[in-house]
Every structure is written in C-alpha cells, then in structure tokens.
C-alpha cells in the first residue's frame, strides 16, 4: 500500500516543528549511529538525539496527530507505532542510499518489540526550500519519487527497497516511523481499507441507517475480527 495522507499536521504544528527543529541548539547527531547492518554504510544524514527532551516533546505532537487521523487509522490499522524519529539532510550529510528497513526493532520508550509492516515519512520542510531529497521507493512497478508538502505523510510497505536522494540545496527535515499493523497481511489490509473507503461513500450517499450499509459495516468488522491481532 502506498498512501499519501494530506495535512496530517496543522499549519500551527508545522510552524512549531520549524521553530524547534531549525533552532541552533537542537540536538542533532550523526544518523549512522542508529543504523544497523547494511544500512550503516548507506546512511549519511543527521538525526535528532532520541533521548532528548525536544525529541520526546515532538514525538508527542506526531503521535497526537496520528491518533486524530481517521484515514491513517483505516489504512494502517496500527497496533504499535515505533516512536517517531526526526532526520535532517543537507550540507555534507545529505543522503541515505538504497536499503530495506529492519523487520523488527526494539522501542526503548515503550519497552517492546515492533515489527515493521509499514514505513512512514512525515515531511516537515516545504518542497520549494530544498532541491533533491526525494524519497525513492522501488517496487514491482518501478521507482516512485516522493516529495510532499510540509505536514503531509506517505505510508508505504516496509518490505520495499528505498532511499533518500542527495539534497543539493537547503535542508530537508522530516519525521519517520514504523507501524506494526493489527492486520499483518498486506492483501487483507488493502481489502479492509478499500472496503472502509467504499463504506464511507455509501454512508454519505444513503445515510447511516440504510439496511445494506449496516449489513456491510458488519461484514467489515467481522473480517477485521477474523484477521486482527491485538
Ligand atoms: Ni528506510
């Protein structure tokens, strides 16, 4: 599943991130320190220190934004979210070459393991402020180059090979994180999402009380009951 979710952050939240992450004293460190295995040789960026107060504060803002987003919930059916991290590309630390994200990661904040079913990038820099820095995702259909407005999010399968192309002007700051879904299988999750979107349109067209809408909602929930692990 590839899904672009618009305006996950409000304009005020985008401004808050801008003020905090672009501040001279923001605790940025070498991103390669957090890369494992193959990724360490490919990764040349900076990352906000995870243990910092600023990181904890901004993670809270991202998580609250995800919690109120119905489209994110429907598409990801999140069981666990690996604490959002923040990275910066620019100057000499400006790319992250082709890699696949680790399958399981330990979240210190929540003291649990998270399986990465879906990867997410939440863009925080307006696209006109930098050149390069596309998120390039390879799948069976070829390459997708993604560069979104500040506050928008892309959701994509963690199983894909992907990279961030070199930033040649300005700085690109974003948040990234992984989702373990209640529904592990990609096909089942996609079917549920398609059905939920159709149900939304049916409710708008025929109202909540239409018998077939109620029955189909029941089928959606029964499929979710069959496939979900919580
Ligand atoms: Ni990655």
| Protein residues within 5 Å, CB atom, of ion ligand 1 | 101
Q: Say what the pLDDT of residue 35 is.
A: 62
Q: How far is the CA of 140 from the centre of ligand 1 (A)?
A: 18
> Between vectors from CA 14 to CA 175 and to CA 125, what angle results, nearest 5°?
60
Q: How far is the CA of 42 from the centre of ligand 1 (A)?
A: 10
Q: How far is the CA of 121 from the centre of ligand 1 (A)?
A: 9
Q: Would you state the structure tokens that stand for residue 155, as one six-digit string? A: 């959701």
Question: In whole angstroms, how large is the CA radius of gyration of the chain?
Answer: 19
Three-state helix/strand/coil letters over 64-112:
HHHHCCHHHHHHHCEEEECCCEEEEEECCECEEEEECCCCEEEECCCCE
Q: Say what the pLDDT of residue 40 is.
A: 61
In the DSSP assignment, the letter for residue 182 is: S
| d(C-alpha 13, C-alpha 33), whole Å | 28
Q: Say what the pLDDT of residue 32 is.
A: 78
Q: How far is the CA of 103 from the centre of ligand 1 (A)?
A: 11
> What are the φ/ψ torsions at residue 23 (nearest 5 degrees)?
-65, 150
> Between vectors from CA 57 to CA 54 and to CA 106, what angle results, nearest 5°?
90
In the DSSP assignment, the letter for residue 33 is: G
Positive/negative CA dihedral, 205, 207, 211, 214 = positive
In the DSSP assignment, the letter for residue 165 is: P
Q: How far is the CA of 199 from the centre of ligand 1 (A)?
A: 33
> In sequence order, what are the residues at sequence separation of 6 or more whose Cβ sits closer than 8 angstroms to the Cβ of residue 25?
none
Q: How far is the CA of 193 from the centre of ligand 1 (A)?
A: 24
Q: Say what the pLDDT of residue 38 is.
A: 57
> In sequence order, what are the residues at sequence separation of 6 or more whose Cβ sits closer than 8 angstroms to the Cβ of residue 67?
none
Query: Digits of tens for pLDDT over the chain (230 positions)?
Result: 899 999 999 999 999 999 999 998 999 998 877 666 556 667 889 999 988 999 999 999 999 999 999 999 999 999 999 989 999 999 888 889 999 999 999 987 788 999 999 999 999 999 999 999 999 999 888 999 999 999 999 999 999 999 999 999 999 999 999 999 999 999 999 999 999 999 999 999 999 999 999 999 999 999 999 999 99
């Amino acid at each position: 599943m590839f899904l672009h979710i618009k305006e996950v952050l409000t304009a005020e939240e985008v401004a808050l991130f801008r003020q905090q992450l672009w501040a001279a004293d923001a605790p940025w460190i070498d991103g390669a320190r957090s890369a494992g295995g193959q990724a360490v040789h490919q990764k040349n960026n900076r990352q906000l220190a995870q243990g910092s107060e600023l990181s904890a504060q901004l993670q809270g803002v991202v998580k609250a934004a995800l919690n109120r987003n119905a489209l994110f919930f429907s598409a990801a059916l999140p069981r666990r979210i690996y604490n959002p991290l923040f990275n910066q590309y620019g100057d000499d630390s400006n790319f992250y070459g082709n890699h696949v994200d680790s399958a399981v990661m330990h979240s210190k904040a929540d003291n649990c393991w998270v399986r990465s079913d879906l990867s997410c990038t939440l863009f925080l820099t307006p696209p006109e402020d930098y050149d390069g820095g596309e998120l390039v995702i390879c799948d069976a259909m070829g390459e997708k180059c993604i560069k979104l407005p500040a506050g928008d999010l892309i959701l994509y399968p963690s199983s894909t090979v992907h990279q961030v192309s070199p930033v040649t002007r300005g700085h690109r700051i974003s948040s990234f994180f992984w989702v373990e879904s209640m529904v592990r299988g990609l096909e089942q999750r996609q079917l549920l999402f398609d059905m939920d979107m159709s149900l939304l349109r049916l409710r708008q067209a025929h109202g909540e009380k239409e018998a077939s809408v109620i029955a189909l909602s029941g089928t959606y929930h029964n499929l979710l009951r069959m496939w979900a692990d919580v």
